[in-house]
Amino acid sequence: MPVSTVSKKGLTTIPSEVRGALKIKKGDMLEWKIVKAHNEFILQVRLIPNPYDFLKGRRKDPELTYEKIEDLADKLIFGELGEERHASH
CATH code assigned at 15: 2.10.260
Query: Whole domain around residue 60: which residue ranges?
Result: 50-89
pLDDT score, position 84:
45
For the chain, the three-class secondary structure string (H helix, E strand, C coil) is CCCCCCCCCCCCCCCHHHHHHHCCCCCCEEEEEEEEECCEEEEEEEEECCHHHHHHCCCCCCCCCHHHHHHHHHHHHCCHHHHHHHHHC
Kindly report the pTM of this predicted structure: 0.51
pLDDT tens readout for residues 15-70: 999 999 988 888 788 889 999 999 999 999 888 766 666 566 656 677 778 788 78
pLDDT score, position 14:
94
Split into its structural domains, the chain has a count of 2
